[in-house]
């Protein structure tokens, strides 16, 4: 490869990586000094000032910004997410905003795995709220991590053990679903 071509590529990479966060022309999100942070409001009125790079991990926030064509202060409200859960979601996003895409750095990958394992080591009610928040905000990596933890909690448990673990009362909608009813509905419809 020609040395000048290598230098040209290196200069292009440095120039592109030092620019503010942008997306492609279709999803035009351009940061300016006044929009480097967002103000997020939870259902209980707590306000969170978040760096744009952190907030853009949420596809929902990204789309809200794209649709609104914001040019000044950005304030977004989330009526289904409490301040406690928003705080946990932002903890996750803050950590992943700077470590995702580290390539083959084994130390960083191990650190992220350890963080994720510790992050989901919470009560199952918090896990369910995190699943709902991750789904609502469309943060796929968070949704995957929390869902995996819930799945591991249910692994090798009987239906009765799962009922006890998740405080599901008998006679709930869980009891009204059976594979046989589903098969009958499919076969005779």
DSSP-assigned beta bridge partners for residue 50: 38
pLDDT tens per residue, range 23-52: 333 333 444 434 588 889 999 999 999 998
- Read off the pLDDT band of 183 (50, 70, 90): low
Answer with the residue of higher pLDDT: 153 or 109: 153
Higher pLDDT, residue 166 or 1: 166
R_g of the chain computed on alpha carbons:
22
Helix (H, G, I), strand (E, B) or coil at 124: helix
Q: Domain map of the chain by residue range?
A: 3-180
CATH superfamily of 3-180: Potassium Channel Kv1.1; Chain A (3.30.710.10)
For residue 57, count CB atoms less than 10 angstroms from its CB and return exposed for 0-12, middle for 13-18, buried for 19 or more.
buried
Token output for 174: 């869980």
Q: Record the tokens describing residue 134, joined without a space.
A: 């991750």
Asked if residue 66 lies in contact with residue 27, where contact means CB atoms within 8 angstroms, the answer is yes
Handedness of CA 92, 138, 140, 106 (dihedral sign): negative
pLDDT score for 25: 35
Model's pTM, two decimal places?
Answer: 0.68
Average pLDDT over residues 105-123: 90
Query: Average pLDDT, stretch 71-85?
Result: 82
């Amino acid at each position: 490869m020609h040395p000048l071509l290598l230098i040209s590529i290196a200069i292009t990479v440095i120039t592109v990586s030092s620019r503010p966060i942008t997306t492609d022309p279709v999803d035009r999100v351009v940061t300016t000094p006044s929009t480097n942070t967002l103000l997020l409001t939870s259902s209980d009125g707590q306000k969170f000032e978040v760096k744009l790079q952190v907030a853009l991990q949420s596809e929902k926030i990204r789309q809200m910004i794209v649709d609104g064509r914001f040019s000044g202060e950005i304030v977004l409200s989330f009526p289904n997410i409490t301040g406690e859960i928003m705080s946990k979601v932002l903890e996750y996003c803050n950590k992943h905003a700077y470590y995702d895409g580290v390539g083959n750095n084994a130390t960083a990958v191990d650190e992220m795995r350890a963080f994720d394992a510790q992050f989901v080591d919470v009560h199952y009610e918090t896990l369910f709220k995190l699943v709902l928040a991750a789904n609502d905000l469309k943060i796929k990596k968070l949704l995957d991590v929390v869902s995996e933890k819930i799945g591991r909690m249910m692994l090798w448990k009987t239906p009765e053990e799962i009922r006890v673990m998740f405080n599901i009362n008998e006679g709930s909608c869980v009891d009204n679903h059976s594979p046989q009813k589903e098969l009958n509905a499919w076969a005779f419809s």
